[in-house]
Structure 1
């Protein structure tokens, strides 16, 4: 039998504009138990780097515990791979250890806590430590194993420095048992860990029970993912369960890309399902913890450099999603490229305008609206007037603002609500704008369209268009004018699509468009008239594309496009109709670029597109100006905006430059509304 590596395991309404039917979709609660809370997180701060002189290292699955007046962290540690690449998880053979007086530091590194011992029942790796205190002893549960199979092992300590493995060997073995965490529930200890089903290969979160932390029951299944091992990457990593006010919350990932963790709520600690979706935290291997006064979330991962900490929020309303584009840009009624973004300080909506359609000179940033819950989305009418669609803080409702023919703007108006994201917008075959919006918590997708092309009035909402969904929908028009809408199912178990059967006509049922996916897809139309969809696999292991065989027709098979990617690659057509694709690696350190050699044709192998030493907070956005030149916009982890512009339409690129002095809010999915 070949040695087991972590990588191998991973691969194994009304016309008045209200939208009352877009409910939050809470799990049901009994009369004496309040509804579950919704979970989101603030910005993550980098607090500890485990690197040593001449050796760049990362932390992955980790655990935090408070002892006296200090916090301690233990975690998988390894040597970082080349920028944007994943390391060899089989080489993860030790646990790093550091301590601090506060979760935000300062952190002091200590000697590695535990190193692999091949003589101890065939250990070949050390993964995912979890430490608790009981009876004056610290207990470290961790995943190990090798040729003898996956194992959950145990070491103990009285000082958090010297650790001794229990002489009896592994607590138990499994097919792919890993990522243990232990919590007290009622009068017994419960261990949650990940496993593969021996029946159908599905990824599971299993549980076992114990009275003494040494002897454990046979396993039960707390959560079963709908995908199977045959689909590729596990999305049942790093399970963590906490209880609050009679509800149990399971944190599990990677969801929404490598740096993402979903939360499922249940009244039963031994049974969780996607129906209990309760929020999202934008981090990898997230561990929730509290100092008794505040809640925090910690995160780490292969593509980061150490430990990150963020405030964890327990909310009455679901945290909003956002458009994948940030900032967002489009041509206005005067043919000037106009950029909209959110201020990092007060989340107010900002605008910046090209001074002339054929220049690189811009106005200063100016305030365009009050605080918003997500980056806005844009629509452009047949007469060129822009419409801006914004989500209110907390997702309470939608607003929109319409450009006047003279280039000025009408006042903001209510557009519907509540909502879980700013809507997807497209122009249909007869010139009317249509919007597609996700409800809070993703329970349904609603649709609304203009009364007539360019009109200021809109039809009533159709709240039964689709759903539930695991991310906001995306929409594009076929060459013949028929819409196609694409959506991610809850938990990322599949991609679905639905299309108009005739331009402006009836819609098909929802159909399966792809297997498990890691995030919402993107879609664009090239110069040949064919649509292309991009998506990432679960965990972001790879980025793929699928294009129409003929304009407005069927679809070719999925094909690889990039390696590890933080989100579905950006697609933007050049002036000559060739698509340009740009993908950001998890961690934000590498920006890759590929382009079609001809409209609808094969892809160039590509090249690096980013700036050395610059880390991005989120994938870039792009838009073409009136001359046809593409402008790419990206926000760094410091909130600075950088831009890169084609020299000429469909040509090469100028160097990256700054784009104004305002700091912008990336607002990753799951961030709390201001």
Structure 2
């Protein structure tokens, strides 16, 4: 009989009957006051520890940090790294790594593994997610184990953090999918949070139990319930709860992709809800610790090589903006020249570069175009060919735009108004007018604004009631008949919704309609040469990408179909000159970069191939645009802020090798996530 993996454990739990009853969706306790910290996030993550051994590349996953006798100790899942883009077998996670350091940033000293699996101990077959607390001069390590006999939370103790002994009484308790325990002290009692499944339909929950002695635990309660009814993949893993200023903050993931953790706030440590969403940390299996003065977020995961640490940020102002899906952003200007816009890595000023000759592929130098900006800009192309650039001011203060003149020059920047949660999504409808869609900070609402007339410098007033709320900036595309259609992620990633014009250039359908189940981030949309739209999105934890295509131009929709495996964000969709779509998906960790394309105009996808450069990790999913010859240019920002480009050798043809796109360093912003 094969060992049981985490996914097997979840599937079996849903199919079984011994599961927790599902109460009404938990909501954060209401209070007259509001949290003093309106948004919780993290600064730049730094790689601080590699658990690899000579000749053996290893990763860390769920982990814990504890400070004892003036030194920090790290314990975590450790395993052998898989080939790039592939996930390891979680059933093979059978040891806990151990390291120590004087400071969370190191230097870290590797010690012998703290604990290895003991298959004679009550059916233990794996070791997952350790958490260590100190009480009464003893260190208590809680961890997830089990196997064929079911999920279990086990306990081992130590007096020196090096030698660990399992308690002879066996598991503290079992559950349908009990794992990822976290233990803290609240109001004079010990409290354990852990990931679990509810009764059918198998919603993901954070369960909680209480104890007076760390050995005997109460019956489970439900502290948080995710809105999704899909039992796999899990999105309530690695729960971590910390208190600050009388408010409790729950960190759980993977949300917004594999390398994402959401934060929920509540006055009540036993009741959190989606309405208490208060932040996002771009890391997997995030743990939060404090040295009494500073707060830190640590992260690890299958696609990284060890431990990463960042300062935890408690923001008192508005939530940070979402980053544009495209970084850099590119499009044809009024003279038919491919133009690229990016943000300088140093001061976030806006940069522009123009293709001078598409035949020889020569480009101008980077030049200043304005700024600084709070996010990579977005583009609209007017019916007369003039580009229009839409920018977000630093600090999400407001929106601006700049319009190209008929002679190829540019008018000055102007205020654009509207909500400033992201640079707006822009598309041109059948009547030739641009329409812009902008989310408010934190996604509280979605507003819409339309040009007064085709190609006009003027715009109608904002419609602030177009949609609310959203979980990410929307994707906008034009149907074959010119009707615009908007696709938006629901808060918490619980679903994808869409709304469309009922007639070309006309009114919009009343309200949002369901378009898809839970997703891990903003979707993308594109139209192919047959006139049909395709929408792509990642699964909640990023383990796969799926797409859905119209059955006829401007018509109904087919079923969701698999497109890629592990992906950091929704894949780029770009039509070649002959109308066949090309798709590019980046794996978590920045490599590999998958590439698929229509093998025929009917939409049959060719097998995936590696499109990236060996040893060159990317910061985000690339962007693409066609030049005046019809050749696609792919632009990718590397992890160190350099732009690399790859160009088709002819329209709809093969691809030339990767090349540098200038020496200027640009901001390596992750796709679609709230950033600072």
The bucket for the TM-score relative to the shorter chain is: over 0.9
Q: Distance in 2 between matches of 1:564 and 1:5?
A: 17
Task: Return 5+ residue gaps in structure 1 as ranges.
Answer: 13-25
Matched residues in 2 for 1:9 and 1:313: separation?
Answer: 35
Moved more, 524-533 or 283-292: 283-292
* Cα deviations by residue, 1:593-638 (Å, 9 ceiling, x for unpaired): 1110223421111321011111111111111111111110111111
Aligned to 2:237: 237
For residues 311 and 402 of structure 2, the distance between their equivalents in structure 1, rounded to whole angstroms, comes to: 33
Write out aligned runs for 1:160-559 (5 A): 160-230=161-231, 232-315=232-315, 316-508=317-509, 509-559=511-561
Whole-Å separation in 2 of the counterparts to 1:223 and 1:208: 13
- Displacement of 1:418 in angstroms is 4.1
Question: Structure 1 residue 32: deviation in Å?
Answer: 5.8
Q: Contact (CA 8 Å) 2:343, 2:373: kept in 1 or not?
A: yes
Deviation, structure 1 residue 291? 2.1
Q: Is the 8 A contact 1:194 1:205 kept in 2?
A: yes
SS at match of 1:8: helix
Deviation of residue 356 (structure 1)?
Answer: 2.5
1:106 is matched with which residue? 107
Shift of the alpha carbon at 1:104?
1.7
- In 1, Cα distance between the equivalents of 2:200 and 2:525? 37
Offset at residue 165 of structure 1 (A): 1.2
Counterpart residue number, 1:16: none
CA distance in 1, matches of 2:230, 2:145: 20
1:602 corresponds to which of 601, 604, 609: 604
Work out whether residues 279 and 319 of structure 1, in 8 Å CA contact, stay in contact via their aligned partners in 2: no
Deviation at 1:408, TM superposition (A): 1.6
Give distance in 1, aligned partners of 2:607 and 2:35.
Answer: 55
Shift, 1:362, TM fit: 1.4
Which residue of 2 is the match for residue 128 of structure 1? Answer: 129
Which residue in the other structure is 2:591 paired with?
589
Once the two structures are TM-superposed, the CA of residue 199 in structure 1 deviates from its matched residue by 4.2
Specify the SS of the correspondent of 1:486.
strand
Compute the RMSD of aligned alpha carbons: 1.7
Structure 2 Cα separation of the partners of residues 28 and 422 of structure 1: 33
In structure 2, do the counterparts of structure 1 residues 538 and 672 end up closer, same or farther at CA, with 3 Å as the change threshold? closer
Gap change, CA 1:166 and 1:134, over 3 Å in 2: same
- Matches of 2:9 and 2:251 in 1, distance apart? 20
How many residues are aligned here?
659
Q: Partners of 1:616 and 1:163 in 2: how far apart?
A: 40
- 1:29 and 1:35 in contact (8 A); partners too: no
Point out the more displaced range, 417-426 or 268-277: 417-426
**Aligned match of 1:42:** 43
Q: Could you tell me whether the CA contact under 8 Å between 1:358 and 1:626 is conserved in 2?
A: no
Q: Which residue of 1 is the match for residue 72 of structure 2?
A: 71
**Preserved CA contact (<8 Å) 2:259 2:283:** yes
Structure 2: distance between partners of 1:247 and 1:662: 43
**Matched-pair contact (CA < 8 Å) for 1:129–1:179:** yes
The equivalent of 1:614 in structure 2 is: 616
Do 1:622 and 1:633's aligned partners in 2 also have CA atoms closer than 8 Å?
yes
Alignment partners' CA distance in 1, 2:101 and 2:356: 51
Corresponding residue SS for 2:275: helix
Q: Tell whether the 8 Å contact from 2:202 to 2:229 is kept in structure 1 after alignment.
A: yes
- Structure 2 distance, partners of 1:30, 1:516, is 30
Do the aligned partners of residues 34 and 553 (structure 1) sit closer, same or farther apart at CA in structure 2, a change above 3 Å counting?
closer
CA contact (8 A) 1:33 1:245 kept: no
Q: 1:647 Cα deviation (Å)? A: 0.6
After TM superposition, give the deviation of residue 354 of structure 1 in Å: 1.1
Q: What is the CA–CA distance in structure 2 between the aligned matches of 1:342 and 1:296, rounded to whole Å?
A: 28
Aligned pair in 2 of structure 1 residues 614, 153: CA closer, same or farther (>3 Å)? Answer: same
In the TM superposition, what is the alpha-carbon distance from 1:11 to its structure 2 partner?
5.8
Query: CA 1:29 to 1:341, structure 2 compared with 1: closer, same or farther past 3 Å?
Result: farther
How much does 1:661 deviate? 1.0
Which moves more between the two structures, 90-99 or 195-204? 195-204
Structure 1 residues 671 and 290, CA gap change in structure 2 (3 angstroms):
farther
Q: Secondary structure at 1:226's aligned position in 2? A: coil
CA displacement, residues 426-475 of structure 1 (integer Å, 9 cap, x when unaligned): 00111111011111111111100111111111111111111211111110
What is the distance in 2 between the residues matched to 1:446 and 1:241?
34
User: Could you tell me whether the CA contact under 8 Å between 1:426 and 1:435 is conserved in 2?
Assistant: yes
Segments of 5+ residues of structure 2 without an aligned counterpart are 13-26
Assess if the C-alpha contact under 8 Å between 2:182 and 2:239 holds in 1.
Answer: yes
Q: How big is the shift at 1:260? A: 0.7
Give distance in 1, aligned partners of 2:84 and 2:391: 35
Matches of 2:10 and 2:51 in 1, distance apart? 24
Distance apart, 1:357 and its partner CA: 3.8
Cα deviation for residue 394 of structure 1 reads: 1.9
Return closer, same or farther for 1:32/1:564 CA change in 2, 3 Å cut-off. Answer: closer
CA contact under 8 A between 1:11 and 1:234: conserved in structure 2?
no
Does the residue aligned with 1:47 lie in a helix, a strand or coil? Answer: strand
Q: Given the superposition, is the C-alpha separation of residues 166 and 203 from structure 1 closer, same or farther in structure 2, using an over 3 Å criterion? A: same
Q: Distance in 2 between matches of 1:445 and 1:167?
A: 57
Name the CA distance, whole Å, in 1 between partners of 2:419 and 2:354: 30
Give CA deviations for 1:150-194 in whole Å, capped at 9, x if unaligned.
Answer: 111111112211111112111111010000001111111111001
TM-score (normalizing by structure 2): 0.95
- In 1: Cα distance, 2:29 partner to 2:205 partner: 24
Deviates more, 1:602-611 or 1:642-651: 602-611
8 Å contact from structure 1 (residues 526, 573) kept in 2: yes
Give the 3-state SS of the residue equivalent to 1:212 in structure 2: coil
Per the alignment, residue 647 of structure 2 pairs with 645
Paired position in structure 1 for 2:24:
none
Deviation at 1:405, TM superposition (A): 1.5
Provide the secondary structure at the position in 2 that maps to 1:610.
coil
Mean CA deviation greater in 111-120 or 62-71: 62-71
Q: Is the 8 A contact 2:474 2:487 kept in 1?
A: yes
| Greater CA drift, 534-543 or 351-360 | 351-360
SS in structure 1 at match of 2:541: helix
Name the CA distance, whole Å, in 2 between partners of 1:143 and 1:599: 49
Q: Assess, with a 3 A threshold, how the Cα gap between structure 1 residues 166 and 272 changes in structure 2: closer, same or farther.
A: same
Higher alpha-carbon deviation: 369-378 or 445-454: 369-378
Asked if 1 retains the 8 angstrom alpha-carbon contact of 2:40 and 2:278, the reply is yes
